[in-house]
Amino acid sequence: MSQDSTDVCTLDLGVGGMTCASCVSRVERALKKVPGVVEANVNLATETASIHYSAPENIANTNMPALLRRAVLQAGYEPRQPADLSEPEPPPWAGFAPVAFGLVVCVPLMAPMVAMLWGQHLMLSAAWQAALGTLVQFTLGWRFYRGAWHALSNGTATMDVLVALGTTAGWALSLWLWWQAAPGEMPHLYFEGSAVVITLVLLGKWLEGRAKRQMSAAIRALHALKPERAHLLRSGEEIDIPVADVLVGDVVAIRPGERCPADGVLTQGQTEMDESMLTGEALPVPKTEGAALTGGSINGVGHVHMRVSAVGADTVLSHIIRLVQDAQAAKAPIQRLVDQVAAVFVPVVIVIAVITALAWLWVGQPFEVSLIHAVAVLVIACPCALGLATPVAIMAGTGVAAKHGLLIKDAQALELAHKVDLVVFDKTGTLTRGQPRLLSTDVAAGLNVDEVLRTAAALQSLSEHPLARAVQSAVQDLVKPVVDANSAQALDVHTVPGLGLQGTLGGVTYRLGSWRWMQDMAADVQGLDDAAQKRMAQGATVSALAVHTSKDGVWAVQAVLAFGDEPKPDAAAALQVLRARGLKLLMLSGDHPQAALAMAQRLGLQVDEVKAGVLPGDKAQEITRLRAAGHVVAMVGDGVNDAPALAAADVGLAMGQGTDVAMHAAGITLMRGDVMGVADALDVSCRTVHKIRQNLFWAFAYNVAGIPLAALGLLNPMVAGAAMAMSSVSVMSNALLLRRWRPQR
């Protein structure tokens, strides 16, 4: 149970005994009747209920979970703890024993019918048929009676009602015909029909359960990434303790080939980490002291120490698991329409069955023939596949996406993504690296570029400004060593807000800042004005280094430094892939038009696909304007200032290396952080929605085709039972094909 800042609590509850879409509607109605329940979503595929509630004043908050469980119980279902997916997957044949029992009992009932095809008469006596049929009817079939009783007592009708009515009618008719038969006469009985229908329905349910366990493979795989023990460092020694006992602030050792026990920071050593569980990228990531480590990632060849920063539910891995579970349990918008259909489906089927029986009686057929045709209608019309069609596809789609580094937070984002016709990108950190680098250095005549750069680096040695880090990085690439603090310490360094900084180095005073600052103080540009204007026209950010000359007391510009961001390696190719899908593209940037257009040219974007000078607060307004113009908009961003725009878009996609705020605001998170993930997310959405539509088609097709055939007497109850069971199995199998999806890269 969790609680958010608005005092609305969330309870995830397992619900046992659900069989069809009508059960889902029934449990939801029962939960919503509990005072204080704000919302209740029940998922047939995961057999869970997600309940949001705020306890009324007359009910203690601690009593609400018990009241909700009681509501599920009174509705005729079994309240459970949600399935613990951290446990190993059960054996493939788990739960098959009742089905096997039914198959064994049905063999002697069906064998005489098969033998008759070869002219053999091996029919069992009526007593033996009644004994075997009754055994199946009231042992294996008891679950349908129990479910039907609870449903009818609550004024609803479910699959259990259809199966119980149909099989009981066949069984009772057989008893009646046996009782009415003359001594020595062998009437045509239907015990085998009812027994086979019950067994086939149970077989279908067992196959559904097996497929559901395969659907949850993604979650089980994520849970399996958690190691069981950690090596705690205490007084210089390594002590093995359970991972659950690790605390924030502990220092743990990670040996080569082991998984990180929690999130933390590398404090000693260097290594490479396999973070494919997080990003889907198999290439190892170099890690040095101070680097962040993620729980579940695999250490390479180094023996390293890590200071723990997050444990338990606060780790990145636990957060990922929770997001995937929530997405799989969520209800897509199309599913709500299916639920409305299912709510009236079973009563309509019962009416059709009654009409079928009366119609056959009216045309002069015997009562038993009319009843058997009505039974076939009841059996084939069970809406199992209808209830499974959408949630199983969503489970498969979100599961395979998580495996490849695409975290889909909610089913609505998954369903809407395939409708997107316009993709809007934030520039910095999304299409670009977000880390400026030094593009060029133009120096005054007679000066050495390397020496000028060392001077600039020394002045900025204590600065954390992105441009300062770019200079430091450029100096580290020089052949000669960097002038460090011991050999050339900059003194009296102070920042001039909005302009740059000033400091003294080797007794000489320097200023390093914007070109505008140089112009304001009337510095001698020493022929570098043309170079500065050229770099700015190319879209670069220009800084200048000026020295205060002692002979005449003026400032003289020594160098012009041009900085620029770099596009991500795959950005241009990813934009071409999106354009090839028929999508419109737009890049939003707060930069001046020259810089934005220069970057757009490198990315392969056209002039009309760029909008520059957009302030952070205006991005959400721009998204709203585009939606009002009729576009279905996907917004891709990574920063705090992108969060409002991500929330305003139809579908928000956050870069995984971005801020937590952006990731929470977005419906989809690209853990790999590359732009190609946008195309992958839209692709897996399209394929998932395609599977949903296929499943709904087949679910309705079975009923639309099967009910008339059964009503016309072209299907007997056994064939109808097999068709009903196979409808659910086919829907599950079709959804499982999504597990074969792979990213385009």
Which two tokens mark 617? 């607060």
Q: What is the domain-level CATH number for residue 65?
A: 3.30.70.100
Contacts for 183-191: CB closer than 8 Å, 24+ residues apart: 186/123, 186/126, 187/126, 188/368, 189/126, 189/129, 189/130, 190/368, 190/372, 190/717, 191/109, 191/129, 191/130, 191/132, 191/133, 191/134
User: CB–CB of 505/558 below 8 Å?
Assistant: no
Q: What is the spatial distance between Cα 200 and Cα 96, in angstroms, rounded to a whole number? A: 12
The residue among 670, 643, 744, 745 whose CA lies nearest residue 320 is 670
- How far from each other are the two terminal CA atoms of the chain, in whole angstroms? 39
Does 101 map to a domain? no
Contact 190, 170 (CB under 8 A): yes
In whole angstroms, what is the distance from residue 605 CA to residue 575 CA?
A: 8
- Reported as type and span, the H/E element at residue 556 is strand 555-564
Q: What are phi and psi of 309, to 5 degrees?
A: -115, -20
My answer on whether 479 and 572 are in the same domain is no
Q: Which residues, in sequence order, are CB contacts of 283 under 8 Å at separation 6+? A: none
Sheet strands (E) in 404-456: 406-408, 422-426, 437-443
CATH code of residue 448? 3.40.1110.10
Full-model pTM: 0.68
Distance (Å, whole) CA 198 – CA 132: 13
3-state helix, strand, coil in the chain (%, to 5): 50, 20, 30
Amino acid at 600: A
Closest CA to 406 of 664, 668, 744: 668
**Structural domain includes residue 37:** yes
Q: Are 294 and 333 in contact (CB under 8 A)?
A: no
Asked if residue 485 is part of any domain, the answer here is yes
Whether 660 is catalytic: no
* 207 within some domain: no
Asked whether residue 618 falls in the same domain as residue 640, the answer is: yes
Q: What is the model's pLDDT at position 240?
A: 92
Q: At what angle do helices 333-362 and 367-380 cross, to 10 degrees?
A: 170
Domain at 603, CATH number: 3.40.50.1000
Eight-state DSSP code of residue 431: I
Q: Residues 6 or more apart from 300 whose CB is under 8 A from it?
A: 256, 271, 272, 273, 274, 284
- Residue after which a domain boundary falls, among 288, 310, 332: 310
Q: Are residues 502 and 421 in the same domain?
A: no
Give the integer Cα–Cα distance in Å for 151 and 248. Answer: 50
Decide if 334 is inside a domain. no
pLDDT at res. 181:
77
Could you give the 3-state DSSP secondary structure of residue 632? coil
DSSP 652: E
Rounded to 5 degrees, φ, ψ at 111 are -55, -45
Q: Are residues 475 and 576 in the same domain?
A: no
Is there a contact between 130 and 105 (Cβ–Cβ < 8 Å)? no
Which of 564, 595, 624 represents a domain boundary (last residue)?
564
Both 503 and 554 in one domain: the answer is yes
Do 593 and 618 sit in the same domain of this protein?
Answer: yes
Residue 63: inside a domain, yes or no?
Answer: yes
Contact 198, 191 (CB under 8 A): no
Give yes or no: residues 486 and 586 share one domain.
Answer: no
- Same-domain status, 459 and 547: yes
Q: What is the pLDDT of residue 468?
A: 82
Domain around 529? 437-564
pLDDT for 278 equals 65
The last residue of one of the domains, among 511, 534, 564, is: 564
Q: What's 273's domain CATH number?
A: 2.70.150.10
Question: In sequence order, what are the beta bridge partners of 286?
Answer: 272
Which amino acid would we find at residue 540?
A: A
Residues 452 and 480 in one domain: yes
Number of other residues whose CB lies within 10 A of the CB of residue 590: 17
Residues 6+ apart with CB under 8 A from 588: 424, 425, 426, 427, 611, 614, 619, 622, 645
Beta-carbon contacts of 7 under 8 Å, excluding residues fewer than 6 positions away, are 54
Number of Cβ within 10 Å of residue 632's Cβ equals: 16
How many domains does the chain fold into? 4
Catalytic residue chosen out of the listed positions 160, 263, 410, 426: 426
| 575 and 666 belong to one structural domain | yes
- Could you tell me if 690 and 389 are in contact, meaning their C-beta atoms sit under 8 angstroms apart? no
- Same domain for 489 and 509: yes
Give the Cα-Cα-Cα angle 164, 113, 106 (nearest 5 degrees).
45
For residue 612, being part of any structural domain is answered with yes
Q: Is 506 in the same domain as 560?
A: yes
Q: Does 368 map to a domain?
A: no
Low-confidence ranges of the chain (pLDDT < 50): 5, 481-487, 658-659
